[in-house]
Structure 1
Amino acid sequence: MHDLPFNFVDYEGITRLFIYLNKDVQLVTRNTAKADIINRYKKEKEIVKSLLDDAPGRISFTSDLWTSLTTDGYMCLTCHFIDNNWTLQKRVLSYTFMPPPHSGLALSTKIHNLLCEWGLEGRVFSITLDNAYTNDLSVDTLRDELNLKDLHVCKGDHFHMRCCAHILNLIVQEGMKGVDPSIVKIRESVKYVKGSQARKQKFLECVSLVSSGNKGLSQDVSTRWNSTYLILQSDIHHRRAFQHLDLIDSNYKYCPSKVEWEKREQFCSFLKVFYDSTLMFSGTNYPTANLYFPAVYLCYIELKKQIERDNEHLKVMTSKMWLKFEKYWSEFCATLAIACVLDPRYKMTFINFVYTKIYGECSLEFHRFNTKLQSLFNAYKSSHSLQPSSSNALGNDLNNVRNDDTFDTMEAFKEFDEMSSNEFRCNSLKCQFELYLDEPKMPRHVKLDILDFWKSNQFRYPNLASMARDILSIPVSLSLQKLLSVLGDVYLTNINLLLSRRMQKQLFACEIGYVQD
């Protein structure tokens, strides 16, 4: 609970306290304390194993590497699945030291060993990783190893998922490279205000005078575009306060001109759809796989719209982003488009709508997608090991309602909203899938708990529900791993502070034991 070393039970003050409370106490050693904690860990591990054994269907994974402040490498492996009650679950299976080299072979070996340790080798559906060459190599090796034992669905066609938040980050970062010097003024303005307590107080007085509210100033990290978006947003909110500060403080030299303020507003408006999509992809309490395709389509529409407009400074930015977007669009896998089909608000109507808008009528790309969809459904139809749970309890918990309000007022969807499900039907898919597609799609603005929908319909479409269970458990980003990395940095920073303080109190010998433990 308190991050104490095992040998705290040997501290003189602790032993004296125990004896004072009970003179007949049997004191434990550091080894006994360590053994107790390891036994507790093993019991907790068995609980997680039991949960995974009871889970129907297959399991998706996310994995990420992290380098600590002391340059040690660690790897986190997290599993994601939907349980018998159609509740999205996730568990960190391993947060373990990863010695160099961090090659594709070393990573695949490490992940494969962990899968075998947990008995999940034959239940893998997908793994989501950052977009990196080493990860591509590790996934290819792992896929080949599992295919040798015939453990994949569709020979692993749906195995490798790239972190969508990471890809969006790469696309936007490409556009922001040296795009506009006014962003430098944003950073310098915030740095200036936060440079001293007197400046902070003066700025707060300006905020109070112009009544711009008490919204705080954000300071961005240049390698994270979403923080740059937040600093744009907060600066625009305090525009009048900065202009007033420019009038009363002769040392403040970074106030943007009227034209630069207008540019900022345009940048902020343009980046909003990418920021909202990133937030949506990073959700952990609701399925995100079904939200991917509509969100990416919105990004596509926004890019096309800005490229066609006669706005020079945004055109430079969007042209760079478009080249990057085209590179990754083909790699945005069909699996997440299938997840959109399994959303009763979209179905095949939306996929056909988008592919027609992008590629034209009866495109080869849509034919390929349809082939993959049919192949996956046939795999589930012929499989007896992936049947859904027999539980028939209906869920009433709507705490995990999806967060896709971004789509509600978008012009890009108006034409789709007016279409009916009967305007398109995939004739190559029969039985359950055909019945599902024949039913009218739900209104897109309905706040639907998609897991609750499939829980209610699992007996009408048993094979389709099994497929939905596995696909909807796929996380489209590595948000949990990123959080653990941040927590790891904070943890080690606190340890370093703790060491320096205690060393000043001549407890160096004790701390050596702490670090070793």
Structure 2
Amino acid sequence: MARIMTQLDILSKDAMGAGASSVNVVDHKGEIIAKAIESCLVDWGIQNLLTVTFDNATGNDARRISDWKGVIMENNFLHVKCNAHILNLIVKEGLSEQNKSISRVRNVVKYVLSSCARTTYFKAYVDKVKLDTRGLLSLDVEMRWNSIYLMLNTAVKFEKAFSRMYIDDHKYFKYFLDSCGKIEHPSSEDWRDVNVFLKFLEIFYQTTLKFSSTLHVTSNTFFHELFNLQSIIVNYSKCDDFLLTGMAKKMKGKFDKYWGDFDVMNMLLLLVAVVLDPRFKMKYVKFIFKNYYNFVERCSKSIKVTDTLTSLYNHYKKSIVGTSCETIGDQTDAVSEVSAMYTSDVWQSQWDKFLEKENNNIDNKPDLDKYLEDDVEKIKYFNILTWWKASFERYPVVSRIARDMLAIPTSIVASESVFSTSDRIFYCYRSSLSPKTAEALVCSQQWLRQHLHNVRLKIFYKKFKILK
């Protein structure tokens, strides 16, 4: 049975304490997933829904909930696709021709980790070749490229130990000799290739961590990472190293397929999130478009972003009753007229009245126009949520849009990993564990984590009391 994990951007205050949930589904068809999402929303009592973030399969469709009464913008932006999944497809496409080198390195790691005796014996060779490293070998999950990166990144540090073991250890040598060529030991060329594209993959690994972060806002940083990756892929596709050039060209094909067209992907909201970052605004979006698109394309894309933001503003303005900026102008006009009656200097009174009207014209502007016209913030250490909280009075409507746009998660990896423990517990060398033993391992791990968490809380409270 599969599980569906979704990150929901909820606009209902009652949903703040709803928590995460999982629903068993029989398959990954769009209709089944839509029913599961609807079931969760009904169970939580949620009506106001802006977006749902889940993977990018074309069959995934949430139209079942598009006719809800409390939907926002008629669910035009309902489906936000998991960008970490797309990045996974892009990187795996680039690695597809390097499977031989990766498989050979994976084989030696599997051999060492297959038993405690082999692991102990391998450590002796690490000491023998005098490797100064504290890292430990880790086996990857082949369906997740970032775990492949971590495995390779650790394994290359022990290249000398593997080579020495291949020369001195008869059993280790015989293991690869008896395979009749099916299992090959990594050659010096394999290690060289792994080292070359590890430097390339590290950029994508760091991007994956940023997409799946849970400790800070991700929606306003997505396009910075996106265009940075585009530049890197284009540059590597033109470099002298044929290995990196081949990888980059294959990646570029996948990149253009998933991220090349705004109409295919629901990325306009994520562009709006960039505009709602006061350090960048619409100026940054136009700057990026200018560097990547021709005149016609960048004008078209800029208009789409502006129209989307304007539509959101009009929708939110209708839903907000009695904003503070709507009554300021009338009050100040009345004050200026009264003060003019008791002014001895006629010219001075008229000048004051003129200034009052000018100020009123500024205050009566839509706060979206004021926000876009104001200078961008130049702050080194910046907390975007704190900034919008402090700017609520100046931009009452836009701040509500920002509150919801910045809550959009760009990835479901963080929630999905909570349930995807099977590949990390069971692999070919552990597949013989009995169900009772496997259950004991999982439950013990969870208990130890909770126990450690409770211990840390007790230490924190003790320190807090002392400080207090």
2:299 to 360, 363, 366: 363
1:477 to 402, 405, 411: 411
User: Match for 1:96: what amino acid?
Assistant: V
Count of aligned pairs between the two proteins: 377
Report which of the two structures shows the higher radius of gyration computed on alpha carbons: 2
Task: Determine if contact 1:126/1:160 at 8 Å carries over to the other structure.
Answer: yes
Aligned counterpart, 1:216: 136
1:315 & 1:132 partners in 2: Cα distance?
A: 28
Does structure 1 residue 434 correspond to structure 2 residue 384?
Answer: no
Unpaired runs of at least 5, structure 2:
177-183, 325-364, 441-468
Does structure 1 residue 249 correspond to structure 2 residue 169?
Answer: yes
Further displaced range: 223-232 or 154-163: 154-163
Displacement of 1:74 after TM fit? 4.2
Task: Determine if contact 1:289/1:474 at 8 Å carries over to the other structure.
Answer: yes
Unpaired runs of at least 5, structure 1:
1-66, 68-72, 389-429, 502-517
Over 3 Å counting, the alpha-carbon distance change for 1:174 and 1:480 in structure 2 is same
2:270 & 2:281 partners in 1: Cα distance?
A: 12
Aligned counterpart, 2:277: 343
User: Match for 1:354: what amino acid?
Assistant: I
Aligned counterpart, 1:132: 57
Please give the per-residue CA displacement for 1:119-163, whole angstroms capped at 9, x wherever unaligned. Answer: 322x10110111113313xx23322x23xx4x4333322211001
Q: Secondary structure at the match of 2:141?
A: coil
Task: Determine if contact 1:75/1:95 at 8 Å carries over to the other structure.
Answer: yes
Aligned counterpart, 1:141: 64
Over 3 Å counting, the alpha-carbon distance change for 1:246 and 1:332 in structure 2 is farther
Aligned counterpart, 2:435: 496
Aligned counterpart, 1:107: 33
Task: Determine if contact 2:220/2:274 at 8 Å carries over to the other structure.
Answer: yes
Task: Determine if contact 1:128/1:477 at 8 Å carries over to the other structure.
Answer: yes
Aligned counterpart, 2:148: 228
Identical aligned residues as a percent: 30
Task: Determine if contact 2:210/2:218 at 8 Å carries over to the other structure.
Answer: yes
1:120 to 46, 57, 62: 46
Displacement of 1:164 after TM fit? 0.9
Aligned counterpart, 2:84: 165
1:340 & 1:347 partners in 2: Cα distance?
A: 6
Over 3 Å counting, the alpha-carbon distance change for 1:211 and 1:315 in structure 2 is same
Indicate the RMSD between aligned Cα atoms, in angstroms.
3.3
2:323 & 2:8 partners in 1: Cα distance?
A: 20
Displacement of 1:282 after TM fit? 1.2
Task: Determine if contact 2:50/2:78 at 8 Å carries over to the other structure.
Answer: yes
2:399 to 465, 489, 494: 465
Does structure 1 residue 276 correspond to structure 2 residue 206?
Answer: yes
Aligned counterpart, 1:41: none
Further displaced range: 293-302 or 253-262: 253-262
Aligned counterpart, 2:312: 376
The aligned runs of 1:9-28 (5 Å cut-off) are: none
Task: Determine if contact 1:218/1:230 at 8 Å carries over to the other structure.
Answer: yes
Over 3 Å counting, the alpha-carbon distance change for 1:489 and 1:269 in structure 2 is closer
The aligned runs of 1:51-62 (5 Å cut-off) are: none
Over 3 Å counting, the alpha-carbon distance change for 1:93 and 1:239 in structure 2 is closer
2:424 & 2:194 partners in 1: Cα distance?
A: 33
Displacement of 1:185 after TM fit? 1.6
Displacement of 1:201 after TM fit? 2.4
Q: Secondary structure at the match of 1:288?
A: coil
Displacement of 1:469 after TM fit? 0.5
Displacement of 1:232 after TM fit? 1.7
Aligned counterpart, 1:95: 22
Task: Determine if contact 1:103/1:134 at 8 Å carries over to the other structure.
Answer: yes
Query: Which protein is richer in helix relative to its size?
Result: 2
- Higher relative contact order (Cα pairs below 8 Å, separated by 6+ residues): 1
Over 3 Å counting, the alpha-carbon distance change for 1:203 and 1:231 in structure 2 is same
Q: Secondary structure at the match of 2:52?
A: strand
Does structure 1 residue 260 correspond to structure 2 residue 186?
Answer: no
Task: Determine if contact 1:186/1:232 at 8 Å carries over to the other structure.
Answer: yes
Task: Determine if contact 1:82/1:469 at 8 Å carries over to the other structure.
Answer: no
Please give the per-residue CA displacement for 1:203-246, whole angstroms capped at 9, x wherever unaligned. Answer: 22333342331201121122111111111211222233333334
Displacement of 1:320 after TM fit? 1.7
Q: Secondary structure at the match of 1:161?
A: strand
The aligned runs of 1:38-49 (5 Å cut-off) are: none
Aligned counterpart, 2:97: 178
Displacement of 1:466 after TM fit? 0.1
Task: Determine if contact 2:7/2:52 at 8 Å carries over to the other structure.
Answer: no
Task: Determine if contact 2:156/2:195 at 8 Å carries over to the other structure.
Answer: yes
2:425 & 2:322 partners in 1: Cα distance?
A: 41
Aligned counterpart, 1:486: 420
1:260 & 1:351 partners in 2: Cα distance?
A: 42
1:237 & 1:491 partners in 2: Cα distance?
A: 24
Displacement of 1:500 after TM fit? 10
1:448 to 382, 396, 417: 382
Displacement of 1:307 after TM fit? 0.8
Over 3 Å counting, the alpha-carbon distance change for 1:256 and 1:340 in structure 2 is same
Displacement of 1:468 after TM fit? 0.6
Displacement of 1:259 after TM fit? 3.5
1:134 & 1:96 partners in 2: Cα distance?
A: 18
Over 3 Å counting, the alpha-carbon distance change for 1:199 and 1:117 in structure 2 is closer
Displacement of 1:375 after TM fit? 1.8
Question: What TM-score do the two structures reach when normalised by structure 1?
Answer: 0.65
Further displaced range: 213-222 or 177-186: 177-186
2:54 & 2:314 partners in 1: Cα distance?
A: 27
Over 3 Å counting, the alpha-carbon distance change for 1:248 and 1:212 in structure 2 is farther
Does structure 1 residue 293 correspond to structure 2 residue 223?
Answer: yes
Over 3 Å counting, the alpha-carbon distance change for 1:311 and 1:189 in structure 2 is same
Aligned counterpart, 1:333: 267
Q: Secondary structure at the match of 1:283?
A: coil
